[in-house]
Chain A
Amino acid sequence: MRRLALLGLCFGAVLFSGCATKEVQITLMPEEDGKVGTISVADRKGDTHTINKAYEALDISQKGEITSKHETEESVQVKYAEVLHALPQKPQSHLFFFGFDSAVLEAKQLDELKMVARLIRENKVVEVISIGHSDSAGDKEYNKTLSLQRAKTVADKLVVYGVPKSLIELKYYGDANPLEPTTNNKPNAKNRRVEIILK
């Protein structure tokens, strides 16, 4: 009987210390499309523990001991509600295409830009980056200037549609970042564009 009590005490102590030394937990979540990434942690012996399934988790003790376990969608949603709720949305990007050697937007594109300006206001966007590009036809220096002009056209219109100037940043790449890589000196409609990124 006494021996049994002693055994119980030991068992309790092991359980207790097991809990107390669980210092870090990392839990993998599925993305919206169901894809799951990979996370690995090396233990103190240098062995790597890897998780790559949804709601798989690793507990890492103070001593560097690692145990894997499974959470569920429900347990994670409850336990981590605060941070899951506070996670920002991915920055959105919108493309506007231009005619050959042109930095002018068409009427239909201006309507689209008005919509984007509304999105910026409604979604509490904190930064807007207007990035100008050109195709590879013509002089490289000229293309840089043209791509800047395109970025400015879009930014100026956004300001007209009520987006605060202070939110907008301009970038321009000339023909250095084509959407469709081409040989040099090729006109290409897909590369004559401005990308607006909303953060």
Chain B
Amino acid sequence: MKKYFASVGWFLITPLVLFASPTVALVKSVQGDVMVTHADKTTVSLKQGDRIFEKDSIKTASNSTIGIVFEDNTLISIGSNAEFLVDEYLFEPENKNVKFKSNLFKGIMACKTGLIPKINPDAMEIKAKTATIGIRGTYFVAEAKE
């Protein structure tokens, strides 16, 4: 049985958030041009306060960066001319069900991990080119050269 009883609709941003795929992260800051392509292939530009969903692919232009805060408090920043995919994200701490798989196709990212690797040290993985990097925490920079 789930230990918490749903967030309340009262104040909530948009009903979409409740009924569509759950939001996995929040955009904390944007510099320059940053675009996101959702699972349904629609592409929009990102601004502060926007939400990130599973399967979102984030692309930054030159001189552009984005800072993101995930549900488990993982902090990620992505630098210029980068492409980053949130492949799988699951955060259900109540039943220790966690997973965070992402893909850095190109560019540079910095990351401070949150609760996910603390709950399960094998749950966080970043793919960069041919490499699969296992993340047990906590603070690192990854660079995928073109």
Q: Which residues of A contact B (CB under 8 A)?
A: 22-31, 35-42, 60, 62-64, 76, 80, 82-91, 124, 126-127, 144, 148, 152, 155, 165-166, 168-174, 176-177, 199
- Closest Cβ of chain A to B36, distance in Å, is 16
- B78's closest neighbor in chain A, by CB? A83
- Residue from the list A23, A28, A172 in contact with B144, Cβ < 8 A: A23
The verdict on B80 contacting chain A, using a C-beta distance below 8 Å, is yes
In the bound complex, do residue B141 and residue A80 qualify as a contact, i.e. CB atoms below 8 Å apart? yes
Q: In the complex the two chains form, what is the Cα distance from A194 to B47 in whole Å?
A: 30
Residue of B nearest to A25 (CB): B143
Contact check, A126 vs B136: say whether CB atoms are below 8 A apart.
Answer: no
**B108 CB–A CB distance under 8 Å:** yes
Known interface pairs A86-B29, A168-B11. Does A80 touch B110 (Cβ–Cβ under 8 Å)? yes
Asked if residues B138 and A24 are in contact (CB atoms below 8 Å), the reply is no
Residues of chain A contacted by B49 (CB below 8 angstroms): 126-127
Most chain B CB within a 10 A radius of its CB, from A41, A83, A166: A83
- B126 smallest CB distance to A (angstroms): 8
Cβ-neighbour of B65 out of A26, A60, A83 (below 8 A): A83
Q: Can you offer 7 A-B residue contacts whose CB atoms are under 8 A?
A: A24-B130, A36-B138, A39-B140, A62-B130, A166-B13, A172-B5, A173-B5
**Interfacial chain B residues near A36, Cβ < 8 Å:** 138-139
In the complex, the answer to whether A29 meets B3 with C-beta atoms within 8 Å is no
Does B134 belong to the interface (CB within 8 Å)? yes
Please tell me which one of the listed residues A83, A126, A169, A174 contacts residue B141 in the complex, with CB atoms under 8 A apart: A83
Q: Are B8 and A31 in contact (CB under 8 A)?
A: no
Extra A-B contacts (9), CB below 8 Å, given A26-B133, A29-B139, A29-B140: A27-B143, A60-B129, A80-B110, A82-B65, A85-B77, A126-B28, A171-B4, A172-B5, A199-B26
